[in-house]
Homo-oligomer: A and B are copies of this chain.
Amino acid sequence: MNSISSFEELTAHLKNINIRRRMAVANAVDSHTIEAVLQAVEMGIIEAYMIGDVAAIESPELFSHNPSPFIHIIDIPEVHEATIEAVRMVKSGEADILMKGLVNTDVLLRAILDKEKGILPPGNVLTYNAAMEIPGYHKLLFFSDPVVIPSPNLYQRTAMIKYAIQTAYKFGISKPKIALIHATEVANPKIHYMQDYLDIMQMWRNGEFGDVIMDGPLDIFLALDKERGSIKKVQTPVLGDTDIVIFPNFECANTFYKGLALFAGAQMGGLLQGTTNPVVLTSRSESIYSKFCSIAIACVLT
């Protein structure tokens, strides 16, 4: 398998393997979610269980205009109950993927984290892993974590990196290049997160992350641009060719992504990871395309 270096290639790959994943969508009543799901159904990659308050559906004509045997509408008017039912379907094996519709993230997380009925195995770290397509960058950029863990500790960060590596493998990247990002490449342990980065580099040298290339701390220029990075005269094996950027904290990942979404036309697809099955979780302000890309990533990870 060639590596997948854009969302278009991802879509082509999924069409090619031609498998429908079953997805349970919690309260799929907003039109962005519905349109993204319909696109995935039409493309032949999803069979959708739309669980929620049918009376609250924003654009019911979307369903009547797009009838499909692969869309199942399950009327559960109470959002909390609809969410629990979606999680139950995933846990029982009736669905492969969980997707958040118009549900507060808190409500979804509570259902996922529930010790009996949830889908997070004990000891697993719940985090958010995303892929960004940036016009001007030559491949997809995986990054973590813009949403879930504000200030990762060493244990959480290790898990974040391992999830990102697993994701990169599923995209056919045989030896992912990982950059531990900070403001500077000068490792001063007095600065937040730098000691964790030094520890992680040591773990990498010890083989803990497998067959990957890792370096850090590095700044964005070194990680993502050969020309600007070279001016610094710092040697790094990931120079301008990074697959995975690990950010020090969620504010850093979040502002980086949002700046590029606004001013560089970047598109993101992202998932919760750590759960037994992929969880598509995008905010209401994300575009239909971004939600669609998130579903496509979930399919490749299933």
Q: A residues bordering B, Cβ < 8 Å?
A: 134-137, 146-147, 150-151, 181-184, 191-193, 219-221, 224-225, 228, 231-232, 247-256, 258-264, 266, 284-285
Report how far A236 CA is from B136 CA in the complex, Å: 33
- Nearest neighbor of A250 in chain B, beta-carbon distance: B183
The distance from the CB of A236 to the nearest CB of chain B, in whole angstroms, is: 14
Known interface pairs A147-B183, A248-B251, A264-B263. Does A221 touch B256 (Cβ–Cβ under 8 Å)?
Answer: no
Report how far A46 CA is from B228 CA in the complex, Å: 28
Which residues of B sit under 8 angstroms from A181, Cβ to Cβ?
A: 251, 255
Known interface pairs A252-B255, A256-B259, A260-B264. Does A232 touch B183 (Cβ–Cβ under 8 Å)?
Answer: no
If A247-B251, A260-B260 are given as contacts, then 14 extra A-B residue pairs at C-beta distance below 8 Å, sorted by A number, are A137-B263, A147-B183, A150-B183, A151-B191, A182-B251, A219-B254, A220-B255, A220-B258, A221-B285, A225-B262, A228-B262, A248-B251, A251-B252, A256-B256
Which residues of B sit under 8 angstroms from A182, Cβ to Cβ?
A: 251, 254
Which residues of B sit under 8 angstroms from A231, Cβ to Cβ?
A: 284-285
Which residues of B sit under 8 angstroms from A252, Cβ to Cβ?
A: 249, 251-252, 255
Report how far A77 CA is from B260 CA in the complex, Å: 44
How many copies of the polypeptide does the oligomer hold? 2
Interface of A is mostly: loop
Contact B135 A263 (CB under 8 A): yes
Which residues of B sit under 8 angstroms from A254, Cβ to Cβ?
A: 182-184, 219-220
Known interface pairs A232-B284, A248-B251, A264-B264. Does A258 touch B219 (Cβ–Cβ under 8 Å)?
Answer: yes
The distance from the CB of A97 to the nearest CB of chain B, in whole angstroms, is: 24
The distance from the CB of A184 to the nearest CB of chain B, in whole angstroms, is: 8
Contact B192 A249 (CB under 8 A): yes
Contact A285 B255 (CB under 8 A): no
Residue from the list B134, B151, B228 in contact with A285, Cβ < 8 A:
B228
Counting from the closest, the 9 A-B pairs by CB-CB distance are A220-B258, A183-B254, A263-B264, A231-B285, A264-B264, A183-B251, A252-B252, A136-B263, A150-B191
Contact A221 B137 (CB under 8 A): no
The distance from the CB of A135 to the nearest CB of chain B, in whole angstroms, is: 7
The distance from the CB of A129 to the nearest CB of chain B, in whole angstroms, is: 16
Contact B136 A262 (CB under 8 A): yes
Report how far A221 CA is from B286 CA in the complex, Å: 11
The distance from the CB of A192 to the nearest CB of chain B, in whole angstroms, is: 6
Contact A260 B259 (CB under 8 A): yes
Contact B260 A255 (CB under 8 A): no
Report how far A157 CA is from B92 CA in the complex, Å: 51
